[in-house]
């Protein structure tokens, strides 16, 4: 679940680990973006999106959105667990800081500076220089596959990123869809290769662990795909096909 196509990163990671998995993607195009909403409003919409997915009786629910995890994860778990394990998406600050930094965390304005993100920095980045970078408009630009707007938002965030940064945490799942564009914007010509840390792979692996399943990347690609748009069955947004992660999915047949 996510407000929009940011969930593609985790979805593609699950598809690669388990091509046979039946997937339900629950999006909220009527409410996207969630970032500018109040925590209360965001939580209300996240619960509605989660309950639409839960009606399909999934084995687990991945919250494929950092902002929703920051503000709504306790409410989602209170509503759905223990019947449906809920896996949040946490910015990959711990592995990024383990590299020694300096680190920049690119995130939505709603996540940047939040007590949740600050808590992760305090817990896992002790002694490592960390810069929190609010990425105004980037998630929305990625959602609409607006190439010019994506470029402008990345350039603006790159301006806020110190030159000495060696590692960037992609603290919004939408950003993982344009990771290489972010790398190109931040990479200094005379510096070692920039390290990017997303969350999709770790989240997909955690979801399998929570339901007692093992990766089976060679399984026949027979998994079905159901798309929910603000609670109603629909089609994968056309913009999803702009990204490699989205193009993995149409090969799956729709659920019957």
Distance of alpha carbon 66 from alpha carbon 188, whole angstroms? 27
3-state SS assignment for residue 85: coil
pLDDT of residue 222: 81
pLDDT of residue 37: 85
List CB contacts of 231: < 8 A, sequence separation 6 or more: 26, 48, 49, 52
Which tens digits make up the pLDDT trace of 18-31? Answer: 999 999 999 999 98
CATH architecture of the domain covering 5-89+201-247:
3-Layer(aba) Sandwich (3.40)
Residues 168 and 194 sit within 8 Å (Cβ to Cβ): yes
For the chain of 256 residues, list the mean pLDDT of each consecutive stretch of 10: 94 94 95 84 96 97 92 96 96 92 92 88 93 95 96 98 96 95 94 94 96 93 90 92 89 45
- Provide the residue ranges of all domains of the chain, joining segments of one domain with +: 5-89+201-247, 93-198
Q: Which residues are catalytic?
A: 65, 172
pLDDT of residue 250: 67
The yes-or-no answer to whether 5-89+201-247 and 93-198 have a common fold is yes
Distance of alpha carbon 88 from alpha carbon 227, whole angstroms? 20
CATH number given to 93-198: 3.40.50.1860
* pTM assigned to the model: 0.90
């Amino acid at each position: 679940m996510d407000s929009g196509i940011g969930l593609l990163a985790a979805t593609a990671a699950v598809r690669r680990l388990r091509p046979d998995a039946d997937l339900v993607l629950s999006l909220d195009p009527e409410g996207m973006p969630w970032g500018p909403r109040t925590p209360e409003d965001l939580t209300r919409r996240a619960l509605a999106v989660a309950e639409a997915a839960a009606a399909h009786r999934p084995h687990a629910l991945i919250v494929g959105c950092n902002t929703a995890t920051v503000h709504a994860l306790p409410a989602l778990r209170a509503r759905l667990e223990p019947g449906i394990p809920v896996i949040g998406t946490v910015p990959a600050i711990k592995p990024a800081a383990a590299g020694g930094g300096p680190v920049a965390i690119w995130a939505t304005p709603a996540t940047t500076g939040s007590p949740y993100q600050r808590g992760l920095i305090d817990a896992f980045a002790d002694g490592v220089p960390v810069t929190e970078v609010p990425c105004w408009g980037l998630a929305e630009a990625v959602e609409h596959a607006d190439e010019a707007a994506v470029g402008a938002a990345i350039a603006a965030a790159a301006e806020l990123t110190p030159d000495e940064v060696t590692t960037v945490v992609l603290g919004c799942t939408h950003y993982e869809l344009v990771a290489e564009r972010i790398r190109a914007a931040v990479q200094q010509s005379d510096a070692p290769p920039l390290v990017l840390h997303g969350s999709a792979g770790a989240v997909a692996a955690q979801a399998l662990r929570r339901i007692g399943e093992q990766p089976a990347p060679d399984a026949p690609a027979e998994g079905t795909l159901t798309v929910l748009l603000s609670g109603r069955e629909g089609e994968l947004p056309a913009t999803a096909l702009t990204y490699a992660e989205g193009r993995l999915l149409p090969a799956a047949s729709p659920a019957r």
